[in-house]
């Protein structure tokens, strides 16, 4: 199983545990139960971080997702980001069905990072209905991330 889920400008790709077929879950249907289009088995909840590979996908995700979205801004050269990666994945598993976790590589997606005025990484942003609720900079453990996400 790969560490992150892929996506396109229409939805997140979830692999069926029954037949290994990739199924697209439309961004507007995130958090709802879905079935595999090939074998009919219930699809797993989104419990892994989604790897954002374009601005179009990012915009659609944050605009359409019924669940809040937390973004991890990272880069391959950033040491603390490598430590945060597994913690972010752990938090994604623990908050499955509650929040969607998305990873933005600031090297390949500088346009998204600049919109959030990201200067230091790792940095995190929490969005609801397409709007930023809060942002923080600096490494966080999974428990700290979840606490930060869940504070009202
Ligand atoms: Zn299937």
Q: Are strands 69-74 and 22-26 parallel, antiparallel or unpaired?
A: unpaired
pLDDT at 1: 45
Task: Quickly tell me which residue has 């209905």 as its tokens.
Answer: 129
Q: Contact, 116 vs 132, CB < 8 A?
A: yes
Domain containing 85 equals 46-150
For residue 32, report the distance from its CA to the centre of ligand 1, in Å.
17
Distance of CA 143 to the CA centre of its chain: 17
Here the CATH number for the domain that contains residue 71 is: 3.40.30.10
pLDDT at 44: 87
Residues with a known catalytic role: 78, 81
For residue 49, report the distance from its CA to the centre of ligand 1, in Å.
21
Ramachandran angles phi, psi of 10, nearest 5°: -115, -25
Number of domains present in the structure of the chain: 1
> pTM for the full model?
0.94
- Is 19 within the bounds of a domain? no
- Is 32 within the bounds of a domain? no
pLDDT at 97: 92
pLDDT at 2: 58
Coil, strand or helix at 128: strand
What is the chain's pLDDT, residue by residue, as a tens digit (152 residues)?
458 999 999 999 999 999 999 999 999 999 998 999 999 999 988 999 999 999 999 999 999 999 999 999 999 999 999 999 999 999 999 999 999 999 999 999 999 999 999 989 999 999 999 999 999 999 999 999 999 999 97
CA angle 108, 74, 133 (to 5 degrees): 105
- Is 14 within the bounds of a domain? no
For residue 42, report the distance from its CA to the centre of ligand 1, in Å.
8
- Is 13 within the bounds of a domain? no
- Is 86 within the bounds of a domain? yes
- Is 113 within the bounds of a domain? yes
- Is 57 within the bounds of a domain? yes
């Amino acid at each position: 199983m790969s560490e992150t889920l892929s996506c396109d400008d229409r939805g997140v790709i979830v692999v069926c545990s029954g037949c290994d077929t990739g199924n697209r879950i439309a961004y507007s249907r995130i958090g709802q139960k879905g079935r595999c289009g090939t074998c009919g088995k219930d699809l797993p909840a989104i419990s892994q971080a989604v790897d954002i590979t374009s601005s179009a996908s990012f915009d659609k995700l944050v605009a359409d997702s019924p669940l809040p979205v937390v973004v991890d801004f990272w880069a391959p050269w950033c040491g603390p980001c490598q430590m945060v990666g597994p913690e972010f994945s752990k938090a994604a598993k623990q908050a499955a069905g509650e929040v969607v976790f998305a990873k933005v590589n600031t090297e390949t997606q500088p346009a998204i990072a600049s919109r959030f005025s990201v200067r230091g990484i790792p940095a995190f942003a929490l969005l609801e209905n397409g709007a930023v609720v809060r942002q923080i900079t600096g490494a966080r453990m999974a428990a700290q991330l979840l606490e930060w996400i869940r504070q009202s």
